[in-house]
Amino acid sequence: MSTVENVGTLPRLGRLGWAFLPVAVAAAVLALLPPIWFGDSPFTTSLAVQALVFASYGVGFNLIFGSTNQLFLCVGALAGVGGYGAGILANETSLPMLAGVVVGTLSAALVGGLLSWIAVRRSLGIIFTGIVTLVFSLGFANLLLGQRDLTGSETGLIVEGVPDRLGDDTVGGYYLFAGLLVAFLIIFRVLQLSHIGWAFRALRDDEVAAELAGVDVARYRIYAATVGSAMIGLTGALLAYSAGFISPATYSFDRVDVRVLVMVAFGGLGTLLGPLIGAGVFAIVDEQLTASLELREVLYGVFVIAIFLFFRRGVVQAIVSLYERVFGAGEPPKPPALQASRE
């Protein structure tokens, strides 16, 4: 009778279920990785943790730049606000880890929101926003270096009060960050599917049109920046506890921002799993090239150029498009744009 129809068909997931399938798949993959691949090697585990950290940074960055076109070149600095906020609190007071994490996260959210508010108030375009946030990044690094007593300057800060099980080269630490990343992905997905996500897409497509359609561009930008910065700050704070030791280099522009930018662009700006894919690929590349830091730098440069020249929407998207064109009914190429003369 009624059971006959149900035999042999997939369980009905409903629209919501399908929407979160990618997140569920990612979570499953992440959960299974340690036992399959690297459970025993602290070195590989720490690489994996690093990849997760960067993927988490990436989701936050995706929310800020990928979704609302705000070029925040201060991901490292925001993470640093979270990390040093938590670290200094842990060392100067006897508050528990949770307090440090909360303070770090809120501070980063505040800073990020403030930067966005300033950019909105002064109508800064993408370039100037980039420069201002870059200036903030470098300024923050100098601040850390200058405040020797508080931050330990280049020698770094040891963060006390950390459970060993959550160290950044342990499986415990891995699952901590994996859980964090999945949580971020869920939040990102929820936003993507909500009216907020619609507003984001509208304002990215055509800011003026979105404004005219009633989208309060300014407000959405600040929201996105605040939430994204909170994510980044939270990750930075947890990293401080997990690693037990941080220095300005941990959160510097070269180490963090460039990597995050390339990674997310590689995986696909604005997409859900882009940061994860990008982080994964770069982790593998890093593992292969542990020998030469300089060669890695050269490779990054080549990647940056290649991505922004050929794979503007991310390598993943390029592969998907290729697949569609070969196997599916691809759309015919758009008519040639204005035939400007060759000068």
Partner 1 sequence: MAAGYLGESVIDDVDVEVRSGEAVVIVGSNGAGKSTLFRAIAGLIQPMAGRVVLDGKDLTRRPAYRIARSGISYVPAERHLFPAMTLKSNLHLGAYPRRADPATLELVYDLFPRLRERQRQQAGTLSGGEQQMLAVGRALMARPRLLMLDEPTTGLSPKIAQVAFEALEGLKNEGTTLLIAEQQVPLALSVADRGYVLENGRIRLSGTAKELEGNPEVQRAYLGVA
Partner 2 sequence: MRAVILDGLVLGLAFGLLGVGMTLVYGLAGVINLAYGQIVVFAAIVISLLMEDGMSTLLAAVLGVLAAAGLSALLDLTLMRPVYREHGEERTLLGLLLTLGAAFVIAGVLTWRYPDGALYIFVDGDPISVIGVPMAVGSLWASAMALVAAVVLLLFFGATTFGRGVRSVIQDEIGARLVGINPSFVRTVIFAVSGALAGVVAIAQSMSGPLTVNAGFELTTFALIVAVVGGLGSVAGAFLAGVLLGVVNALSAHYIGQYITTIILLSAAALTILIRPRGLLGR
Say what the alpha-carbon torsion angle 310, 316, 317, 323 is, to the nearest 10 degrees.
100
Q: How far is the CB of 339 from partner 1 (least distance, A)?
A: 4
Q: How far is the CB of 331 from partner 1 (least distance, A)?
A: 15
- Other C-beta atoms closer than 10 Å to the C-beta of 281 total 17
Decide whether 205 or 294 has the Cβ nearer to partner 1: 205
Return the one option of partner 1, partner 2, none that residue 136 interacts with (CB less than 5 to 8 A, by type): partner 2
Decide whether 207 or 211 has the Cβ nearer to partner 2: 207
Angle in degrees, CA 223, 227, 230, rounded to 5: 140
- Asked if 282 and 263 count as a contact pair (C-beta separation under 8 A), the reply is yes
Q: Which of 258, 260, 263, 315 binds partner 2 (CB under 8 A)?
A: 258
Return the one option of partner 1, partner 2, none that residue 18 interacts with (CB less than 5 to 8 A, by type): none
Q: How far is the CB of 18 from partner 1 (least distance, A)?
A: 37
Is residue 66 within the footprint of partner 2 (CB under 8 A)? no
Stretch that binds partner 2, among 41-49, 232-240, 301-309, 323-331 (CB under 8 A): 301-309
> For residue 225, which of 22, 69, 32, 47 has the smallest C-alpha distance?
69
Q: How far is the CB of 201 from partner 1 (least distance, A)?
A: 24
Is residue 324 within the footprint of partner 2 (CB under 8 A)? no
Is residue 274 within the footprint of partner 2 (CB under 8 A)? no
Decide whether 3 or 339 has the Cβ nearer to partner 1: 339
Q: How far apart, in whole angstroms, are the C-alpha atoms of residue 251 and residue 77?
A: 6
Angle in degrees, CA 306, 126, 339, rounded to 5: 60
Task: Mention every residue, 6+ apart, whose C-beta is less than 8 A from residue 267.
Answer: 58, 273, 274, 275, 276, 277, 278, 279, 281, 314, 315, 316
Q: Which helix (H) or strand (E) covers residue 111, if one does?
A: helix 97-121
Helix axes 293-310, 258-267, angle to 10 degrees: 40
Decide whether 138 or 186 has the Cβ nearer to partner 2: 138
Is residue 291 within the footprint of partner 2 (CB under 8 A)? no
Decide whether 206 or 254 has the Cβ nearer to partner 1: 206
Decide whether 4 or 340 has the Cβ nearer to partner 1: 340
Residues 319-338 that bind partner 1 (CB under 8 A): 335-338
Residues 105-124 that bind partner 2 (CB under 8 A): 118, 122, 124
Token pair of 31 as six digits: 């959960």
Q: Which helix (H) or strand (E) covers residue 245, if one does?
A: strand 245-246
Q: How far apart, in whole angstroms, are the C-alpha atoms of residue 4 and residue 71?
A: 55
28 residue type, one letter: A
Contact set with partner 2 (CB under 8 A): 71, 118, 122, 124-128, 130-132, 135-136, 138-139, 142-143, 145-146, 254, 258, 292, 294-305, 308-309, 343
Contact set with partner 1 (CB under 8 A): 335-343
